[in-house]
Each structure stands twice: as C-alpha cells, then as structure tokens.
C-alpha cells in the first residue's frame, strides 16, 4: 500500500527535456514523477523556443535560472552545481531520443525516455552498453506496464496458474488516423515522417506497448523468428499505418501482434491475451482494473485490482482498495516510483529486487521494430530474430 | 416478420443421413428444418446401426418403412415412390460428405450438407459443376450466417456506411481441446484423424465459419494470396489445433483469421470485425443480438436485433421484436427457410433474390483450407489463392 | 438433452384463440408448442374477423372446417369430435382471459394463457379452484422462466450456494412508451385502457414477469407486506406507466421491483438479482446465456448456459452445447414442453416431478398487482399481502 | 486541459487532521491536494498518538515543529505564524467532523471535510451559516463528482438532451460487510456504532455519494417527500446495513436510492441513471470513463471521457486524451483543484463560475440521512423533506 510516505533518502533532483506547454505527454511525466516526492523538478529545457520554455518552467515552479535553452546547456550548467540534476526525462519527438539519452548517460545522469529509445538496434546496443558500464538507470515509459494487474498476470504465469504458455495475442489498434490527419495535425505529421519518427509508424508508436506488457507478464519471452505484413491504407503515407506480426517463440509458443492507426472507431484497444495449457488471462487497457481469468472447463472469473485474492506482489502498489478505479496516471506513478528506487539503488551500488521497463526492454522494442520492418520489406517473409 | 404462415406451395419432402440419437448437430438440423413447415421429415438413414436408426426415426415420427439401412438404399427406394424425398441433409462425419452429396445430386436431390463439403478443391469443383448442371440446391450450414445482424452488416457494407473496406478480422478460437481429449472422446478423435476429418482440423472445423460470415457481409470478398501458420500444441495430434492466417484481398484490403481448439477458457469466440475508411462493425457469436457500430470520432453505437433503425432486409426474418434474444436455432431456422425457398424456386425454374450459403460458398471454404494447408506445409510462406 | 424424440405418447391436440396474422405473440406460442411434436395444431379461432381467421388458419395448415368463428363455437364443435382438441391457448387481449380460461376449464380443456390470467384475485381463486377440481393444467407463459439458467439459479438457491436469502431485486423497465404512442398504436392503446387491460398497466404487463422469475428461483418466496409508488408520466394515461414496489418477505428477506414503460432507451431490462448471506446471482434477459455468480470476497464468476459445471437439472433442457446462444424461443419451447408433459400426466392421473408456471403462479401475480394498486391508491402506504 | 501549470497565485498553505499512517483516505486527500501544486502540506495533527503522528508527518516532508498533538494546538500555533495554514482537511472518524469544522471556520480557515459533515441537520445549518458569514470555503469530498463524465451528464441535462427529467435511480450497494466483520475490523466497528458514526450506517456512509452525483448532474434537484425502508441483516448491528429510499421530487419527478453493505460480491456498484422524456444516461463508478447515452428508439451510445464530441465543460479537466482511463484519484484531484480555486477566490473576495461539493451540498446530505432515518423509525412511512 502506497500512502505518500517517502521511500527514498531524498527526492531525485530531476530535469526535463521537452514536454512543454501543450505537450500531453509532458504532463503525465511530471504528474507521475512528482507524486509522492520521489522526484523534485529543479531544471528543464522544456521547449524548442527557449523563452516559451522558461515561461512554462517558471509556471511549474522551476527557478528561472535553471530553465535552459537546450539540453546541452542544461547538462553543462547543472554539472557545475552541487545540487545539480541527477536524472533527466526525455519527452521530445523520436528523432532526438538517441542523442539525448546518450548525452545524458555520458553526463552521468539517469534517464527516463519515451519510446522508441532510438531508430536502430545498433544504437540501442550502444546505449545498453553505456548504461551498464556507467551503472545508470534508463527507464522507458511503457506506461500501463505499471498497472497492478500486469503484475498479477506476471505472478500468475510465474506460479504456473496458466500451465505452459502456448499463445500470446497482443494488439494496440486505434482509429484516429483513418484519414490523412497529418496534413493538418503537426503531432501526427512527424509520426509519419521517417526522418523524424524512425523506420516505422505504428509498430514503433504503439506496437511495442503490448509487446512489453507481454514481456512483463511472461518472463522468458524470447522470439525465435517473425514475419510482418504492413500497409499504408492512406496511400500518401511513407510509413505503415497498419501492421500484423506473427512470431514463433523459443520453446514452442507462438505470438501475434496487431498495430493500427486506422482501426475506425477504436480508441486504443491495447489488449494482451496469454493462453496457457490450463488457463488464459486477458487484459484490456480501457478497463484496466479487471483481468479476465479463464480456466478451461470453469466459469470465467473477473479479477479486480485491489482484490484480497490477488498475489501480494500485485497489491504492493495499491493506492486505494479494490472497486475504486486506478487509471493510466496511477500506472505511470508506479513506474516512476520504481525508476526512483532503481536510481537510488544505483547511486548506492545496491541491487534491486523488482523489475521496471529498462534499457534492455527499450532495446528489445527497437530490435523488434527493426526485424518487423525487415520482414515487411522482404515481402513479408520470415526473419530470424 | 416471420409468423409461421406457409411460404411454400408444399413443404419439401425431406430425408436425413446421420444425425441420429445422441447427435447434437442432427437435432439442430431437424429443429430448424421442421419449424414453420418448410420441410417435412419423411425418411432417413439416421444411424450406422440400422436398428438403432429405425428406432430413432420412429421416435421422430418417421414411417418405419422409410427408415433405411444406408443412404444408398434410401435414395433407391425413395426414387421409386411418387412421394419420395426431394431433399436430403447430410449430417455424418466429414469423410462421407463428398460421396453422399455427389450421390444425392446424381439422384436429383437437393442437399443440405455440413461443412466441409469435401476434402479437396477438385472435388468441390466437381460438386459445383454437378449442382449447376442439374439445377439443384446445395446448402451448407454456416449457421450464424442466418442471424439477422449478419444481414444488417451486409446492408451496411452495401450502403457504404463503412466506406471502403480495409481490414477484416475473423476468429473462431475455442478452448475445449486444450488437453488430448481425443483419447477418450470419439467425436473429438475423428476430427483429429486426417483420414476422417480431411487435411485440417481447426481450419476446416471452425475457421471456415467466420470466413463465410465475412463473405456474407462483404460482397466482393476475394482473396489474392495468403499465408498460414499452424501448430499442434498437443504434440500427438496429426492435424493442427491452432492456425493463424494472413490474407491480401483483391482491391487492397487485408484480412486475418484465427482458428483454435486450445484457446483455454473460451467457448466459441466466433467474431468478425470489419474495418472501413469511415466506420467499423463487430459481431460476436456469444452476444449475437448486438452489433457494435463504430464511426470514427463518434461514440460507439450498439445496434440491437429487431431495432426499427436497422435496414429492412435485416428485419425481414424477425420472429420477435427487439430486446428479445434470438439465438443459434433462430439463425439456423432462417437458413433452412432460405434453403426451402431456393429449392422450390429451383423446382419451378425460378430465380431467387436472396442469398444463402450455397455450393460455391462451400467450395470456397474447401479451397481456403487447401491453400492454408499448402502454405503451412511450405514453411508458412505466401500462396496465391 | 432435448433432441426432438417424442416425450409423449401422442402429441396434444391443440387449438388457439387469437394470435392471428400480425400477432407477434401468436407466433411464439405456435413456434414453441409445435417444436418437437409435443402439440399438434388442429383447430383455432384465430381472429375476431372469422374470414381472416380462417384464411390464416389454413395458411398454418389447419383444416378449414376447424377454423372457427369464435371460441364458443370451437369448444362446442370440437367436443363433438372423437379427435377434438385437448388443450387451448388463449392469446387474446387481457379482458378476455378470464372468461375464456373459465370456459376452457369448464369444457374440460387444458389451457395455456397469456398473463394476466384475470383482473381480480377473486377471479383468480375461482380459476385455481376450477383447475384443481377438474385436474386440468393451466400454464401461463412467463416465457423466460423456461430458460435453463433460471433453473440453475433455483438449484443454487436450493443447494444453499447463496446462503440465507436476504434481498431480491426485480426489474422490467422498458422505454418504448415514453411518448403517448397509444394515440397511434392500437396494441399500446388497449394496454392503457382499464376496461381492456385491467387495473394496471406496467405492473401487470411487465412487473409480474420478474416476480415469477424470483418465485421460480427462490422456492418459499412469500410476501408479508408491500408498498407501491406509481405514476403516469404521460399525464393523459389512466393507468400507471411506472411503478416502484418495496416488499417485506416472510422470514425476514426484502424485495424490490421496478416496472416501467418510460425508461428511455432501454429495451426490456428484465433483470433479477438475488442476494444471499454468502453470494449473489444476477440474471438479465438481454444476455440470458450468462449468469453472474458473485461470492463475497472472490472474483465474480460468469456461468454459461450449457456449462458442464452447472447443476444437472439446469442441463436437462439443453438443445445445444454451451457457447451457443439459446434465446427467448428456446425458453418458451421448454415451457410448452413442460405444459405438454403436465397435460399428459394429468390425463393419466399421474404426478409430475417438475415445475412450470401454473394456475397458482398466475393467481399470485394477479394478487400482487391487486395489492400494489391498493397500496398506490392509499397514498403508497403499506398493505398486508 | 490540465498540464500542471499553476492556477493560483501561490499554493494554499494546508494542514491535515487525521489521515495518518495506515489511513487509506488520508492518502487520497494528500495525493489529490498536492498534485499540480495547488496546496502545500505544511502542518498536521495526523494521529491520535502524537509521536506516531509526528513521525508520519516528517516522513511526508512536514517540518517536525509543525506536526502537532491535536487540531487545537495546530490552529493556535499556526495562527501565530505569518506563514500559517490557510486551509485544513479533516480526515478523522465521523464523530469529530462537526466540532473540527466549526473550530476551523472560527479560526478563519477554509476546510475540506469527509462526509458526513455532522450528525444533525441543525448542526449542518449552523456550519452553513458560519461558512457563509465568514466567506470561507467548506469542501466535502464526494470524490467521483469530480469525474469529467459527471460534468458531461450535467451539461446534457442543462442542454435538454434528456428532455424533462422523470426518474433518477441511485445506488451504492457493496458487499464487504455481509458478515459481522466489525467484530474483528476496527474501521468497520466505528461505522456501526451510533456514537461514532451518527444516526445511520449505509445511508450516511455510502448513500449520500450517489445522492450528490444526482444533484450535480440535475441542477434543481429538490426532494418533496421520501420514505425509507432499512434493515440490519446482521442482527447484532445497531445501525442499518441496507436501505431503500423512494422520493417524490418537486416538479413531478421521482427518485430511488439503494445503499447496502451486504450486497454480496459487489465492490461498490455506485451507479446513477437519469431518465428523461427523450433519453437516459447512466454512469457507473467501476467503469467511470464510459457514459451510456440512450435515446429512445436509437442505438445505445457509449460516450467516452475525453471524446471530442463531449461538451467543452466536460473536457476542461482532461489530463490525458480519451481512451486512456482516468480513475478515482483524477476525480479527486479535480475536486481539490476546484477547492483551491474557490479558496483563492474567497480570499480575494471574488465570485467563482464553477461548482464544487460545498457546505450546502454537505448539509443537504445530512438532512437527507436525517429524514430517511425518521421515515424508517416511523414504520417506513412518508416524510416531508
């Protein structure tokens, strides 16, 4: 049970790159990090327009002297302070993630980064190596993976409640880009531009979310090979707006993934179903407080977040008892709480006994997109992972 | 509105092959055919054990003299009667379908046949030719295609409510065979035996159902090429118990299919989602009286069977007003009603202005299974359809 | 498992009063009675217009000579035949029920009657006495009470799965009469006319349905006292279009009922929730194949019709396995099957070991309406039952 | 769109009474108040045990010198500081609410108080008068009233989308107290003790929640008279564990309420349905991001929080776009944000153009409980409101 008491010796001194006024994602980073005093927002390069960024930072309570022109200035100036930032969040468009994350690590800073961490697996491996060598934390915000029922799913798999895992179904198909909205919507436009978004649109933008949920719930999830069928249903798009992926997993299980931006009428539809030899579970992001548990031959059971019958690990991050809804912000808060605890442990050279979406999870997502794109380019043929 | 008044000049004189005591499928054929006096059950070869078959037939009200040893005897003897059967239903295990359907057509009988109609597309083409030449009806019982909301879906597609069709998602994944039940269950055993079930288990047994729902709702549905990934999760099985299919359709749409017998905890899960450029619809066999209609940017709408706002074609076969549930038996009754009207029209040499799952639909399903199996055997590579 | 084999020595010879062309309720009576050959439709006075009635009867396959001008003629003429009717269904507007049912019983006929059986409890008691004295069956079509999950609910209560019963919540609130549709719709008009409909609109028209479901599921259900608040939200109506009822039951439980015709946007919403000291169950007529089973402190379970885990009594009337939907017609068919078996047993002077909505159930509903109306007239005060 | 930028000139200096370590409700107060820097937690009397309270306060980041023995000390000492608290939250058991709220107002402090504000309507009126005279804010935490879809409901009613309001159905029936848990659970025990909980258990503990949701959505909601049927299904309880209420509203509408602690298997089940002459809406706290909108004669529509089609007032407090879930914490955060804005406006003597659950809402709830208890004591007869 989380009740707001401090879990760290001191809040992590924290800065942001991007996430300025008008950025929805910027707010959820701040709201989650600042909850329960795990982080303290002391610096920022919030905006490509420095004046606007400073005005915004001040409005957030940041000292105007610590509202910087860009991340380079921030890293340099903060490094000179005894109370300089210890961690930085990168909430900019995709194309800056790699260089900023690398610079942060080189500056000795822990980093929280929006996915994708970078555009190529080679870059990702470089960042993995750097983080490991420096003993620094890189957290990636697969937001719903912090929801307590994901932990419940993981515990059920670990305890053998599902038996041997056979099939994993993942999807994140939304509908909002069923017309060429990118012609009028800037945030949509850069997502469709290979120079700014990387080698993929929906695979990287949404597909890696349920991929990580699956990894979180099924420890040992490892892909043997995959094939991917993509299409731009809006023909002017350079990147795919729909993708189907089939995967053979090591050990004999199979997995499928559906990512879409043209699934008319759907909001997110992020869903993961895990089918075992004894039972299945299914989780759906639009009703995150319920987990369907389906033992073959028995009535379907609806597990509720906060239920006394859940595994203790799935109740640790309860903020309120069952029946009350916890949503996306609560899931993110859990992630940022783990990031903070991991950062403090790293600072102290201590080991942690919990998981979070880390640099390796981020790298795995980048690799998956790369392999999917490779398959799609090769006529949707099978590619070794 | 159907109210039990006669729609035919006289009820079709009808016989059954198989579907004896203990056959669940036999009952739904009879219950549907006999409703509203479109058919009259006058003969049968109900059982491989003739004594048991006769006893059963008598219990159904059939004249004992017209309870036959086998279908050959039935066809021969009935042909000699002035009031002999005009149509026959084939409700036997798969391996007999082809020979019986062929024999029925050759005997000048209309036929209703359980799917699959046969094991190879070559055989299917032969039956198509035979039926066309003889002007006889072959109806295949894709049962839920008779549900009124399938007609509503079809009308919505035809009226352009969905815009251009982009993606069709089909599934029929159940869980009851998650363990080797075939070792103790005879009905399961023959379904897993290639000699008795044909070249596939789940593709043919369940996968063709949502395939036909898609065909029914999307006139012009035509496959360009496909790839299929199958697996027997119970390793002792000779035929696949799970199959994923990806399809490119003519005109640029794409489709996916999931068939399974090891989807733990699921009953049937037969579901079709059709995604257009303007809206999507989704239909689910476990709640058949509701159709989800999702116009991008608007609240999801739940269309109800019997609703006054539905297309007239979707209300024609109402037996009761909206809010009351019509289930599988009502959908089948609608199919048998159309079979009867088609048979009468054929007898009179008249054209019909309605659709039903006919010999070409049956042949299409057989071809689809054949192509899927071919792809799976070729390492799950793409196969031209 | 029902498979269409005969359950009676011979089908009951059966006539209908009312239920002519255009009557929706007439069709469901016929479709249910004629299924599986429990009844044989041999006579009728289908319409207030005898010519139209005869034309309709012939279209149903009835001998034109046995299509009568009115029920009196039918009873008289049929009595003279050796193969005259044994049972009659009354599917006319409410105001005829009492006289016709009484006449049928006096003519030695079993009767199936639409509710309400009559307008006053005194009349109901008279019919109860008559039926009991003559040893005749009166079946009343509380249609959904024939659904298998109602039997499951009954068995759960009887087996103590819910513990001591504490609260029963019943409702049947639909919305179609939210405007004065009776000004243009004849079927609506007579339902609002006290001379034709009796002392109540919604209490009698819909409220007694979930009342009987509760009686069926909770053997021993007995009302101590009740209070009722009614209103005509359309002020020109002489009878109530909305009613709330609170009840104290013998033994200490409590019950509530909500009946409405102005619940905008709702189709039927017939729902019963039974709360016990250990668990609750909830059944809803728009998803009749699922029963919610809620043990305090455990995940909610969704029981499915046809599930192997149900009580054997709840599986006896399966027509198809679980996962397939059975709807209103199947529930009615089960009732008519029981009516037929009860009639045959009565003819033979045998006892039955099953239940059905009988003359006492019908009388109880009439009494309940009478008491509710009395309370409402007395300023919604408590009335002893 | 809320993005964390400051909305006040400075955060309100804030203290807490109660809500110490182990208090679930204390955390949700803090988490909501501290989000987005509307409040600053600077003082507290967190615990009946002062040592434990100080330890807890320090762990929350409060200066140990401002962790007080009790609220009297806190009010006295803080009044002497130039930077003393401006507002206080009362999160203690019910019996202290009245005296603490009164003391706070007398000390010139704004107050946020858990419901019930007090035990009698006379006390409530006293507090109303005091708050009004002093120009101070009293906020009461009817938490879900801050959810955006409640505002949507209100706007729909105000815009006439529902037509004339006819019926309001409210419920909050949970099941966790189906056995005498109060014998082992302290938090349950005081809720059942009239000295500590006031004149009612479930009416006051849960029933006033949906009552206020109804008031928030239906401006002009005014009760004419009511009747209430209560019972303690656990006979050792001094206060009711179940209550049904029927209400006539001014203007001719009717309302019902169900409050329960013995509704086996239900979590909260807080639900409000508002039925108008044109349409109904229904909101359910376990799926708070969906609002059912049911126009008679049209398909049911599911409105989603964040949808672009919602009224602008319902989108003002969006923290994230539609499809993502906002839960109880987000609803509370919205309330505390409004409390803060109201407090600043009160400090400046400015008017506000928004609503929040204020002292009059709190008083209305107290009066409603008082009238319900009066009716129940009088044999569940009608009581003028």
Helix (H) or strand (E) segment spanning residue C25: helix C24-34
What is the arrangement of strands in the sheet containing C39-45, beginning at the earlier edge strand? Answer: C39-45, C12-18, C87-91, C110-113, C138-140
**Average pLDDT estimate for C157-180:** 98
Superfamily designation of domain A12-143+353-359: NAD(P)-binding Rossmann-like Domain (3.40.50.720)
Min Cα–Cα distance to chain C from A365, Å: 34
**B48, B76 in Cβ contact below 8 A?**
no
d(CA D77, CA B63): 102
Under DSSP, the state recorded for C315 is T
Which is more confidently placed, A188 or C85? Answer: C85
Q: What is the pLDDT of residue C66?
A: 98
**Average pLDDT estimate for A249-256:** 98
* Tokens (6 digits) for B154: 């079809």
Strand partners, C243: C230, C259
d(CA D311, CA B89): 58
C48-92 per-position pLDDT tens digit: 999 999 999 999 999 999 999 999 999 999 999 999 999 999 999
Mutate to test the interface with C, among D245, D264, D271, D293 (most CBs of C within 10 A): D264
Min Cα–Cα distance to chain A from C297, Å: 7
The pLDDT mean for chain C works out to 97
Chain B partners within 8 Å of D302 (Cβ): 299-302
d(CA C17, CA C22): 14
Whole-prediction pTM value? Answer: 0.97
Give the start-end residues of each E strand in D127-208.
Answer: 138-140, 165-173
Residue with tokens 């949503």: A327
C261-290 per-position pLDDT tens digit: 999 999 989 999 999 999 999 999 999 999
Asked if residue D22 has pLDDT above 90, the reply is no
Q: What is the pLDDT of residue C1?
A: 85
Asked if residue D179 has pLDDT above 90, the reply is yes
CB–CB of D304 and B307 under 8 A?
no
Min Cα–Cα distance to chain C from A264, Å: 25
Min Cα–Cα distance to chain A from C169, Å: 21
φ, ψ of residue C303 to 5 degrees: the values are -80, 140
* Tokens (6 digits) for B149: 């909301």
Chain C partners within 8 Å of A302 (Cβ): 299-302
C-alpha neighbours within 13 Å on the C-beta side of residue D29: 30
CB–CB of D299 and B301 under 8 A?
yes
**A149, A303 in Cβ contact below 8 A?**
yes
**A375, A203 in Cβ contact below 8 A?**
no
A162-174 per-position pLDDT tens digit: 999 999 999 999 9
φ, ψ of residue D264 to 5 degrees: the values are -40, 125
Asked if residue C223 has pLDDT above 90, the reply is yes
* Tokens (6 digits) for A86: 């210890």
**Average pLDDT estimate for D252-264:** 98
* Three-state SS at C15: strand
DSSP D13-66: EEEEEE--TT-HHHHHHHHHHHGGGSEEEEEEE--SSHHHHHHHHHHTT--GGG
Q: How confident is the model at residue C187 (pLDDT cuts 50, 70, 90)?
A: confident
Which of B170, B172, B168 lies closest to B250, judged by CA?
A: B168
Q: Which residues of D touch C (CB under 8 A)?
A: 162, 166-167, 169, 175-176, 178-179, 227, 229, 231, 233, 242, 244, 246, 248, 254, 256, 258, 260, 262-266, 275-280, 293-298, 300, 379-382
**A144, A283 in Cβ contact below 8 A?**
no
Which burial class, exposed, middle or buried, applies to A195 when counting CB atoms under 10 A from its CB (0-12, 13-18, 19+)?
A: exposed
d(CA B83, CA B269): 43
List chains adjacent to chain D, taking adjacency as at least 3 C-beta pairs closer than 8 Å.
Answer: A, B, C
CB–CB of B233 and A296 under 8 A?
no
Chain A partners within 8 Å of D60 (Cβ): 4-6
Chain A partners within 8 Å of C302 (Cβ): 299-302
Mutate to test the interface with C, among D265, D274, D372 (most CBs of C within 10 A): D265
Chain C partners within 8 Å of D294 (Cβ): 175, 264-266
d(CA B91, CA D73): 86
CB–CB of B329 and C328 under 8 A?
no
Question: Which residues in chain B show pLDDT less than 50?
Answer: none
Q: How confident is the model at residue C240 (pLDDT cuts 50, 70, 90)?
A: very high
CB–CB of D280 and C264 under 8 A?
yes
Chain D partners within 8 Å of C295 (Cβ): 264-265
Under DSSP, the state recorded for D206 is I
d(CA A30, CA A45): 14
**Average pLDDT estimate for A242-264:** 98
**Average pLDDT estimate for A306-323:** 95
Closest residue in C to A303 (Cα–Cα): C299
Strand partners, A88: A15, A111
Asked if residue A1 has pLDDT above 90, the reply is no
Q: What is the pLDDT of residue D331?
A: 98
Q: What is the pLDDT of residue B22?
A: 86
The yes or no reply on domain C147-305+363-384 and CATH 3.30.360.10 is: yes
CB–CB of A265 and B167 under 8 A?
no
D24-83 per-position pLDDT tens digit: 899 999 999 999 999 999 999 999 999 999 999 999 999 999 999 999 999 999 999 999
Mutate to test the interface with C, among A299, A303, A305 (most CBs of C within 10 A): A299
**A213, A151 in Cβ contact below 8 A?**
no
Chain C partners within 8 Å of A303 (Cβ): 299
Q: What is the pLDDT of residue D186?
A: 86
D106-161 per-position pLDDT tens digit: 999 999 999 999 999 999 999 999 999 999 999 999 999 999 999 999 999 999 99
Inter-chain Cβ pairs, chain C and chain D, closer than 8 A: 119
Give the start-end residues of each E strand in A220-357.
Answer: 223-231, 242-249, 254-260, 271-276, 279-284, 290-295, 300-304
CB–CB of D264 and C278 under 8 A?
yes
Out of C298, C302, C308, closest to residue A297 by CB? C308
Asked if residue C42 has pLDDT above 90, the reply is yes
Give the start-end residues of each E strand in B30-109.
Answer: 39-45, 87-91
**Average pLDDT estimate for A274-292:** 97
**B207, B369 in Cβ contact below 8 A?**
yes
Min Cα–Cα distance to chain A from D295, Å: 20
* Tokens (6 digits) for C9: 């020595």
B10-44 per-position pLDDT tens digit: 999 999 999 999 898 999 999 999 999 999 999 99
**D249, D166 in Cβ contact below 8 A?**
no
* Three-state SS at B347: helix
φ, ψ of residue D362 to 5 degrees: the values are -60, -45
DSSP C186-252: HHHHHHT-HHHH-S-SHIIIIIHHHHHHHHHHSTT--EEEEEEEEE-SSTT-SS-SEEEEEEEETTS
Q: What is the pLDDT of residue B187?
A: 84
Closest residue in C to B329 (Cα–Cα): C326
List chains adjacent to chain C, taking adjacency as at least 3 C-beta pairs closer than 8 Å.
Answer: A, B, D
Name the residue ranges covered by the structural domains of chain B.
12-143+353-359, 147-305+363-384
Q: What is the largest CA-CA distance in chain A?
A: 65
DSSP C105-146: HHTT-EEEEPSPS-SSHHHHHHHHHHHHHHT--EEE--GGGG
* Tokens (6 digits) for A114: 């929006």
Q: Which residues contact C298 (CB under 8 A, 6 or more apart)?
A: A301, A309, D265
Q: ipTM of the assembly? A: 0.96
CB–CB of B299 and D301 under 8 A?
yes
The pLDDT mean for chain A works out to 97
């Amino acid at each position: 049970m989380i009740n707001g008491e401090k879990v760290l010796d001191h809040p992590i001194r924290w800065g942001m790159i991007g996430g300025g006024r008008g950025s929805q994602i910027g707010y959820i980073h701040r709201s989650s990090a600042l909850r329960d005093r795990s982080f303290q927002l002391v610096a920022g390069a919030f905006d490509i327009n420095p004046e606007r960024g400073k005005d915004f930072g001040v409005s957030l309570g940041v000292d105007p002297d610590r509202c910087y022109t860009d991340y380079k200035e921030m890293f340099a100036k903060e490094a000179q302070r005894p109370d300089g930032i210890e961690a930085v969040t990168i909430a900019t468009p995709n194309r800056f993630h790699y260089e900023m994350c690398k610079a942060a690590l080189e500056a000795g800073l822990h980093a929280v980064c929006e996915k994708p961490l970078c555009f190529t697996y080679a870059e990702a491996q470089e960042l993995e190596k750097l983080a490991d060598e420096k003993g620094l934390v890189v957290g990636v915000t697969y937001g719903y993976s912090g929801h307590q029922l994901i932990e419940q799913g993981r515990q059920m798999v670990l305890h053998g409640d599902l038996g041997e895992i056979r099939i994993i179904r993942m999807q994140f198909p939304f509908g909002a880009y069923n017309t060429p909205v990118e012609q009028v919507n800037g945030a949509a436009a850069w997502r469709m531009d290979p120079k700014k978004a990387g080698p993929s649109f929906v695979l990287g933008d949404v597909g890696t979310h349920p991929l990580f949920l699956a990894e979180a719930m099924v420890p040992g999830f490892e892909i043997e090979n995959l094939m991917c069928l993509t299409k731009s249903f809006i023909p002017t798009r350079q990147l795919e707006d729909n993708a189907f992926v089939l995967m053979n997993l090591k050990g004999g299980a199979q997995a499928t993934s559906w990512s879409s931006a043209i699934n008319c009428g759907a909001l997110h539809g992020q869903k993961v179903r895990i089918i075992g030899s004894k039972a299945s579970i299914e989780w759906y992001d639009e009703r995150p407080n319920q987990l369907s548990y389906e033992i073959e031959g028995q009535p379907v059971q609806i597990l509720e977040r906060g239920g006394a019958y859940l595994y203790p690990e799935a109740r640790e991050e309860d903020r309120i008892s069952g029946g009350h809804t916890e949503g996306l912000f609560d899931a993110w808060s859990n992630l940022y709480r783990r990031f903070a605890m991991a950062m403090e442990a790293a600072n102290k050279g201590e080991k942690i006994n919990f998981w979070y979406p880390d640099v390796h999870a981020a790298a795995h997502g980048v690799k998956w997109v790369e392999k999917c794109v490779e398959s799609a380019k090769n006529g949707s043929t099978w590619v070794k992972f």
